[in-house]
Structure 1
Amino acid sequence: MKRRQAGLVLPALILVLLLGALAMAFARQQSRIASQVRQQQTTVARLAEARRLLLEYAQSYHLTHPGQSTGYLLCPDTDNDGAAELSCGSAGDFAIGRLPYRTLGTVPLRDGFGECLWYAVAGNFKYNPKSAPLNWDTAGQFIVRNPDGSARHPTQRPTDYAVAVVFAPGPPLGAQHRVFLAGQPCNGPSDASLAIAQYLEGAYAAGPGSPMTITVGRLDSDTDNDQVAWLAASDVFDARLRTRSDTADLIGAVLTDTASALAPLPDPEGATTLIGNVIEGAPPVTAYNDRASPWSDQFRYLKCTTGTACMTLDDRAGHILGCAGLLLFAGTARGTQNRPAGGDPAYFEDNVSALQAPETDVFWAAHDYATTAPAQDLARCLPAP
């Protein structure tokens, strides 16, 4: 071999080795990126599955629990057995723990890093102890925010706040220490209150708080990598639920139950307003059973003090009825109407003038809930005792 040719071999060999090293580094980088993409895809899919199961649970509660209303959510799993606790905290307090996958009818749902999902439920939507009211006007308890602090809700209406939040913990950060225990379905101590700080970055000790802020983390963050999915109050009572036939059956039963309990026309509850010979207010609390109680803020109750049929109802079906008592039901909010308090006379849009002059004006309200018109006022005409 000539000296000139021999002198070129070493640089060429170095170039080949350098290109090979670069190719290997690029391949490793691509592999890491592909792995991160798979982990994120798995996390997103598991969060979506958990959200779907929770929504189905809430929207079918009245079907799986006869004699109850709809919208309730189960308690978290706080002892790492996969089952929802039968009760969680005091009435109105939110609760947090692991996602109760067994009660939801599935296997342990894990994020892309192999960690079980966690779950928080608003105090006013949990199934035990129940809070009343619970219906399409009930506000959520959690405000979900982006890492930069901006809100994730389409509006600032309280019904767009979250009532259930599912967390994917991701890999441990900082001082977090996670221990695998043989025989446990999920990593960490069985007691959720002892494990939570090792999995979630927020200070989410169960208890009161309305509204409470929950921040969505970033996978590349060194301080908060929790990924989040949630249900808003408006998701639970969405258009699909409002237009289902079983919802019409439920509302019909609620109206019938409450009207039946108002015989023989007790006085309205609490402070009543006298308008001519009519007193107006809320039905007495004794008029509500378990199915009707969640809808208590949707009612107004009027009674003729004369004991006669002093009010007139047009039931929108061609019937003009004389009523000694009248039970009004508000229906859903219209447009962008915000109704956080419930039960206000202004919510009865079809009967504002009649409520101001119940003996001289005609009430307009349908007897039955219509899935095609969920916002219309409903009524039950009550006869004289």
Structure 2
Amino acid sequence: MVLNQRGSAMLAVLALLVAVLGAAFYQLLEPHPQRLADREGTMRRLAEAIFGLRAFAGQSEGKLPCPDLDFPPDGYANAECVYMRGRVVGWLPWRTLGLGPLRDEGGNFFWYAVAGGFLMGRGADVIDRSLRMEGLTDLEVAAVVIAPGWSLLGQDKIRNEGVGEDRVRGWLEGRNSVLAQTVTTGVFEQRMESLEFNDRVLPLLAGQGGIGGG
């Protein structure tokens, strides 16, 4: 009798867990209209960030600023970047760009990765001149701006710590997380939102608005 009761209780807990996960997955596949509106707002702000970078490059001989490498971010580009094998990754320096405090629907500041070949103070000496992005592999990508979205499973602790090279894992997923840390040859990705991936990535192409002096 006791075993039957325990078995029934376990089934009830399992059913509840399935229902909760199912509801969460349904929200990802069929988001509420408000969620859609929030995402659209994020995409507009990403576009605003790209516009700000283009405007900056137009006044800086086609070069882009260092990211904001502080934690928590203050919105200002660092005076000197920590050059990481072909790219520099940090927060979007929104104050330096003359923008407002751009955030995604989760309230997070945007991430910003800039290729060494387009960075102020760098140029022909850089081996990995540009970044690459999925679907645009034949084009030079000068930088990408990434909205990290709501924290996924296991990311909260890392986000709160905000230190160390692996801090990126608390914000970005998939290849984006790996590329932002160590890899020089690889492709930033944008894919369907899921329980394991919710980055939104917007590229800045070389030649847009004089990026790279083009």
Match 2:68 to one of 70, 73, 77: 77
Match 2:90 to one of 83, 97, 111: 97
Provide Cα deviations, 1:316-349, integer angstroms capped at 9, x if missing partner.
xxxxxxxxxxxxxxxxxxxxxxxxxxxxxxxxxx
Provide Cα deviations, 1:224-273, integer angstroms capped at 9, x if missing partner.
210011111132437xx86xxxxxxxxxxxxxxxxxxxxxxxxxxxxxxx
**Partner SS, residue 167 of structure 1:** strand
Match 2:207 to one of 206, 220, 234: 234
Within 5 Å, give how 1:91-240 maps onto structure 2. 93-128=86-121, 130-132=122-124, 141-145=130-134, 151-152=135-136, 156=138, 160-177=139-156, 188-189=160-161, 191=163, 193=165, 195-201=167-173, 202-206=177-181, 209=184, 211-219=185-193, 221-237=194-210
Cα distance in 2 between the residues matched to 1:87 and 1:93:
15
Displacement of 1:48 in angstroms is 0.3
Give 5+ residue unaligned stretches, structure 2: 1-26
Cα distance in 2 between the residues matched to 1:83 and 1:36:
30
Provide Cα deviations, 1:281-338, integer angstroms capped at 9, x if missing partner.
xxxxxxxxxxxxxxxxxxxxxxxxxxxxxxxxxxxxxxxxxxxxxxxxxxxxxxxxxx
Q: Which aligned runs of 4 or more in structure 1 are off by greater than 6 angstroms?
A: none
Greater strand proportion = 1
Contact 1:76 1:84 in 2 (8 A): yes
Displacement of 1:174 in angstroms is 2.5
Displacement of 1:165 in angstroms is 0.4
Displacement of 1:112 in angstroms is 1.7
Evaluate the alpha carbon distance shift between residue 193 and residue 104 of structure 1 in structure 2; reply closer, same or farther with a 3 A threshold: farther
Displacement of 1:195 in angstroms is 3.2
**Partner SS, residue 214 of structure 1:** coil
Cα distance in 1 between the residues matched to 2:164 and 2:143:
17
Contact 1:218 1:227 in 2 (8 A): no
Provide Cα deviations, 1:93-152, integer angstroms capped at 9, x if missing partner.
300011111111122110122111100000111113x22279xxx98522111xxxxx23
Cα distance in 2 between the residues matched to 1:206 and 1:169:
15
Greater helix proportion = 2
In angstroms, what is the RMSD of aligned CA positions? 2.9
Q: Larger RCO: Structure 1 or Structure 2 (Cα < 8 Å, ≥ 6 residues apart)?
A: 2
In percent, how many aligned pairs have the same letter? Answer: 31
Evaluate the alpha carbon distance shift between residue 139 and residue 231 of structure 1 in structure 2; reply closer, same or farther with a 3 A threshold: farther
Within 5 Å, give how 1:1-385 maps onto structure 2. 33-61=32-60, 70-79=61-70, 80-90=73-83, 93-128=86-121, 130-132=122-124, 141-145=130-134, 151-152=135-136, 156=138, 160-177=139-156, 188-189=160-161, 191=163, 193=165, 195-201=167-173, 202-206=177-181, 209=184, 211-219=185-193, 221-237=194-210
1:292 aligns to what?
A: none
Cα distance in 2 between the residues matched to 1:112 and 1:121:
23
Evaluate the alpha carbon distance shift between residue 191 and residue 101 of structure 1 in structure 2; reply closer, same or farther with a 3 A threshold: farther
Cα distance in 2 between the residues matched to 1:162 and 1:169:
19
**Partner SS, residue 37 of structure 2:** helix
Choose 1 or 2 for highest CA Rg. Answer: 1
Cα distance in 1 between the residues matched to 2:91 and 2:111:
4
Equivalenced residue count is 180
Evaluate the alpha carbon distance shift between residue 189 and residue 99 of structure 1 in structure 2; reply closer, same or farther with a 3 A threshold: farther
